[in-house]
Amino acid sequence: MLTSEQLQAKLERTLLAFPWYGRLLGKERTDPTLAALPLLTSAELEKHYYTPDNPLSRQPGLRTYRTSGTSGGYRKTIYYSDEDEKRYASIKADVFARFLCRGTADGGEPLATALSDMGTGHAADTAVGILESIGLRAEAVSFRLPIERHLERLRDVRPHVLYTMPSILDRLLAAADGPESFGIRKVILVGEPAAPSWIARAAGRLGIRAEDVMDTYGSIEIGTIAYFSHEHGRYLFAEGIEAEGLKPAATASGSEAEAGTKAVFADGLIDGDTLKEDECVLALTSLARDMFPALRYVTYDVVRDLRPIRVDGRWRQSFGALVKRLGPELKHGEKISVYDIENAVYRHVEPPAAVETHLAGNKLRVRILCGAGGEERRAAVERELAACIPEIGEMIRGGLLEAVKVEFAPLGKDGDAAAGPAGGAIKRKKIYYD
């Protein structure tokens, strides 16, 4: 739990770095509680932080990372200071080291080598340095190379540790003959959610135990958020993270904080009615980030069974499973948003039409409600989708990611297809999990 001193110091740093947060705060609070602070929603971040004219863009010495698009048509930019980067690397190195020091089924020689096959982004850029900092000889394979070269590096390097994403590992396992011959003894995952059944199957293909695979959960805004502890059978939050669970029922009494929760569930990104009794939407506060306003940041991710447990004699916040990622974006090798997808589709499809983004496992499917489509138009939309995030397109062309599948469906009888991205039904601007 955050102490009042930690929270006050975090609030002061946030107000200093982001003057607009003071307006969001409304009135001065000399001794605030976390629950009294405003929720930081996607709408507020698009208005104040993700904008191209963010004052941080003119501040020297900051590292920038670009990710998925916004409703305004520009890609998000996330900023890290040197101190942010050091804390990010330290937290991740500690998580990795704790997992890798546990024994493997073969009980063989100590782990010495690692290969990062991570696509693009912050995690990919920092992977080798973090793996080396915990004593491994590490190298990375570029997402720009075709999948045959990735398999070649695995055969040549025979890494003890593979750091990768579920979507990439899916493709590597599908393309490899006898993947157990790679000699991989531990796998660390990040990116798309990885179900226990999927992890067990992937581990079996590699000839290792499910316990030799660790799933981690993070975001470019926060960094490493949580990791799966096989000892406890749950995800444990990383150091410096304070997690809250948001539920529609919390809006009952009408307080200011509860009104903020109500706004989250009314903004069209979350359908609160689909949450089960033990599910909630995560909001996070991070002491490790200064160049992002990480105070009650709404992740739009749904977790199950959020509760503290005793770990090494002290209480640690944890959850049972990452159920799904709601809101307008998902991970497909690199982050892609519903807005990116809509912009690509509407270059080839005239209104009235509507776009639905569906995800089953790690397979992305775009359903266009506009009546007849035709093979030529379908192929054009698929090419456009591959080009809207260039890094995704390169991975698809190289065989490292599965192509986005496009299908056409008829309009509903009641005209249930909205007229383009501006007039589109807000309820469709989310991911459908099949």
- Between 4 and 216, name the one with better pLDDT: 216
Cα gap 305→160, rounded to integer Å: 33
Half-sphere exposure of 198 (CA within 13 A, CB side): 16
State pLDDT tens for residues 291-328: 999 999 999 889 999 999 999 999 999 999 998 777 66
- Diameter over CA atoms, the chain: 65
Beta carbons within 8 Å of 96's beta carbon, 6+ residues apart? 130, 131, 134, 188
Cα gap 187→253, rounded to integer Å: 46
Beta carbons within 8 Å of 361's beta carbon, 6+ residues apart? 170, 198
Of 128, 150, 153, nearest to 138 (Cα)? 128
Q: Look up the pTM and report it.
A: 0.84
Cα gap 147→401, rounded to integer Å: 9
Q: How confident is the model at residue 256 (pLDDT cuts 50, 70, 90)?
A: low
State pLDDT tens for residues 137-183: 999 999 889 999 999 999 999 999 999 999 899 999 999 999 999 99
- DSSP class per residue in 130-173: HHHHTT-EEEE--TTS-HHHHHHHHHHH--SEEEE-HHHHHHHH
- Which domains are present in the chain? 4-80+235-325 (no CATH), 84-220 (3.40.50.980), 329-433 (3.30.300)
Measured between alpha carbons, how far is residue 125 from residues 139, 233, 433 in Å? 11, 30, 30
Confidence at residue 269, expressed as pLDDT on a 0 to 100 scale: 57
* Mean model confidence pLDDT for the chain: 85
Rg over alpha carbons for the chain, rounded to the nearest Å, is: 22
Cα gap 131→113, rounded to integer Å: 9
